[in-house]
Structure 1
């Protein structure tokens, strides 16, 4: 795999400021010698610029901090950690007592805008590079369109109306624009993904493995349409992926989360991570969840002993059906053997930071080197199973090979270790009550800790009622947890952004 793995592309080009690094990671080029005047001259410049937009995915503004909160704000997990002020930014999300200075809200906003402005620079500058293979140029433009759409999709779902930039700001003053209506932002996302579908290749190999493909664009477009409530177009694009991408489900659910299977048969798009270069830095190229999510006080595997964040909620754990193989892949439970040096405590309540003894297991790879925040395991942004569930929700409990029943049942059969394409006793049927709820439940357990649940509950109008239900359950266990109101359907606009841009307005209730 490439992008983050073989090229650092440490390129920051915003408002004419560029900071670069060489093809191999952290070989920094002098910043006073590279500007947007003498850059964007060669094919390699274009590729580096695209890589710079990809690089934000690996950092705190995306998958190395901010997006972890999407499960904490939902019914999957709670903060964990060492208690007190440890992880206060997540506790604020957990309790729906979110100040405008919340770190997660701030990081998500800034990370998305850095990434999309880098994509804007590619779309502005790369068409004028003459000495460039036309096929590579087309790919670079498609990647930038895909990435801009991805970042804006996160922004509009998290904050509602947001400033819409389709070209880089010409100067500092041009940054200070007002928020654009969410509907218009979605139109731009749809256009970008449609254009990306036409520009991107169906697959890559060798050094280019891991780049966005046309099937990544199609799958994300299906998800966008479903989020907007446009089920016919969601179904159309989901079927495009299912029928034509050549992708298929792994026979075993856990195979999705192994280093040796990265960018594999079920993957449509992943964040590319590599170990050995991070140290104590979540804005680099290794995934820190290996350390942060591992059971707290678990010994010397991984190197820091585990911090115990994002711990599974007890009702979420109890909701697994008997025989669901996803549970053992996703969660540490009391009595589980912990690799090498230690084990998860055998009794409930004995795991520090986790009063019920549960921890997230999905991203655990153990000790990979002496740097503790440093896992090579990629994070899937979009998998084929997600697309099957998008189709099921979009078309409902319809029959036939392209129907919603077969789509959801493929996912369910795999979850119970059954042949994916053969009818089974675990199948849902046309008489299954509340089919949409059944699909959402399947998404909960299929995509747990893949940072989608808050978005799912919001788009289906279930967030407030579901979290109130969970809060009532937790009170029976002696746990107090805040309950969201309608204002919590969006995050606050960061106070630092309001201070810098007088054209911005705050979301209601903050």
Structure 2
């Protein structure tokens, strides 16, 4: 039987490579399976490896953020997978998001092993309970990420051989949903409400409820989503961080807004990412970077500071289109004339910041600003390692989950109150009751959560694929005129969308793993 308890966590300690039987070889052979579950330190390292395996937006750095599949962004790399998706030029053999299928099952297997071995482990009952809760949450998160992209999945809930796994068919829709929700519910019962400083980053009961509320909203189970979200809000464990501009900076890791995150460079994860290395202008990095380029669609979603849309506000100037915007714009987008790392950024094509063509040239003439560390030293990259944490879910999203669920339930004033809390934090005027529409609520999610990996799932929930996933992507043309800079909106790409694209096809590489007679069925219309 292949072993999934393998301590891949030793990679970070010993720098070794590993395989399914690593504990049978070399200097680690003293760590037999039996010894692992008798040692609380080794068990904790094993659990830490599961935390390290969580997939986040930051782990996509160097490839493409999921924002590039929505109206948030356009990839600067024309050969990237995102272009295949956006133009409808993909099928199961392209293995889109196969890394999610593979990694999510790796996570589930490790959680299953931990859950199976914990009852007999040589640790206290209190620690067993906490670790059981952590494993249930981490497994639910993995399966939720799998379900979000592919829909129904084979439920692997116990330790199995790889051969046995390929006899398990995709479960029914309702069974997949029930399995994920049950794991979140059990985790919420078992996990502590908070931790001391030494255990920052571990999952709490509130993290289980917050993630559950997200999943329920996407299922359009609004009453349950609102209930779970309100429990998190009423816990008083979290507050909005006062400064959106620095919310994601490394010095503000673990601030009061963060409910659950991936702790890069911590004792739990021990990992790094490459967002700062790949997502800023090539001027700063010294090589062809700047992959995820915000669209004009996103820029136009940021209101003027008077609360009106750019094309309705007297504050808008065509000659200075970036003045007087929602302050969240300046924290999200690198635009022409902005300041970054002591430089005034020139986004005109052919400048030292934005190459005329090819790699390092932004198709929209914007680069990403959100998440990046303004103090990152590109001359001393430590092997291109970036370490700021990635928020998996934060209080602002829980406010928006609650607001949307309450809107759907007819409680529009409750919805407006929580939208306005975010606008107040951002320095934007409140939306009056007479002006509050669902479109306003949708736009608030667009700008508040931009690039955080939820837009694609929002669009699917709203059934807005034809307009938002298959519409025209715009950018800003920048030229020098006799009176100064001239800005004109341009069409960058016309994307393609079909109903089947609300789910990605099951990767052919996974279907081919299954022997004849036990098929892993494909999503509708992808055969």
Q: TM-score normalized by structure 2?
A: 0.82
Structure 1 residues 85-104: aligned runs within 5 Å: 85=79, 88-102=80-94, 104=96
Structure 1 residues 278-289: aligned runs within 5 Å: 285-289=271-275
Residue 212 (structure 1) aligns with: 203
What per-residue deviation string (whole Å, max 9, x for no partner) do you get for residues 57-79 of structure 1?
2589x833599542111110111
Quote the Cα distance in structure 2 between the aligned partners of 1:509 and 1:488. Answer: 9
Structure 2 contact 5–114 (Cα < 8 Å) conserved: no
Quote the Cα distance in structure 2 between the aligned partners of 1:335 and 1:322. Answer: 18
Tell me if 1:359 matches 2:367: yes
Shift in Å at residue 457 of structure 1? 0.5
Structure 1 contact 80–354 (Cα < 8 Å) conserved: yes
Tell me if 1:490 matches 2:476: no
For residue 54 of structure 2, the aligned residue among 54, 57, 74 is 57
Residue 413 (structure 1) aligns with: 424
Aligned to 2:433, what secondary structure does the other structure show? Answer: coil
- Of the two, which has the highest radius of gyration? 2
What per-residue deviation string (whole Å, max 9, x for no partner) do you get for residues 13-63 of structure 1?
964462444496335596321453443223223222221211112589x83
Quote the Cα distance in structure 2 between the aligned partners of 1:245 and 1:46. Answer: 32
Tell me if 1:470 matches 2:472: yes
Quote the Cα distance in structure 2 between the aligned partners of 1:292 and 1:309. Answer: 7
For residue 258 of structure 2, the aligned residue among 264, 267, 276 is 267
Structure 1 contact 43–133 (Cα < 8 Å) conserved: no
Tell me how large the CA RMSD over aligned residues is.
2.8
For residue 480 of structure 1, the aligned residue among 493, 496, 499 is 493
Q: Which moved more, 1:354-363 or 1:377-386?
A: 354-363
Aligned to 1:382, what secondary structure does the other structure show? Answer: strand
For residue 115 of structure 1, the aligned residue among 79, 89, 107 is 107
What per-residue deviation string (whole Å, max 9, x for no partner) do you get for residues 480-509 of structure 1?
333111010011211111111142122233
Tell me if 1:507 matches 2:523: yes
Residue 308 (structure 2) aligns with: none
Q: Which moved more, 1:327-336 or 1:68-77?
A: 68-77
Quote the Cα distance in structure 2 between the aligned partners of 1:152 and 1:214. Answer: 18
Tell me if 1:319 matches 2:301: yes
Q: Which moved more, 1:262-271 or 1:463-472?
A: 463-472
* Gap change, CA 1:42 and 1:175, over 3 Å in 2: farther
Gaps of 5+ in 2: 306-325, 356-360, 477-488
Q: Which moved more, 1:193-202 or 1:313-322?
A: 313-322
Structure 1 residues 213-228: aligned runs within 5 Å: 213-228=204-219
Tell me if 1:186 matches 2:177: yes
Structure 1 residues 323-472: aligned runs within 5 Å: 323=305, 324-340=326-342, 343-347=344-348, 350=351, 351-352=354-355, 353-365=361-373, 366-367=376-377, 369-371=380-382, 373-396=384-407, 398=411, 403-415=414-426, 417=427, 426-432=429-435, 434-435=437-438, 437-471=439-473
Aligned to 1:500, what secondary structure does the other structure show? Answer: coil
Structure 1 contact 58–273 (Cα < 8 Å) conserved: no
Q: TM-score normalized by structure 1?
A: 0.84
* Gap change, CA 1:94 and 1:241, over 3 Å in 2: same
Quote the Cα distance in structure 2 between the aligned partners of 1:170 and 1:409. Answer: 51
Shift in Å at residue 430 of structure 1? 3.5
Residue 195 (structure 1) aligns with: 186
Structure 1 residues 224-239: aligned runs within 5 Å: 224-239=215-230
Residue 75 (structure 2) aligns with: 79
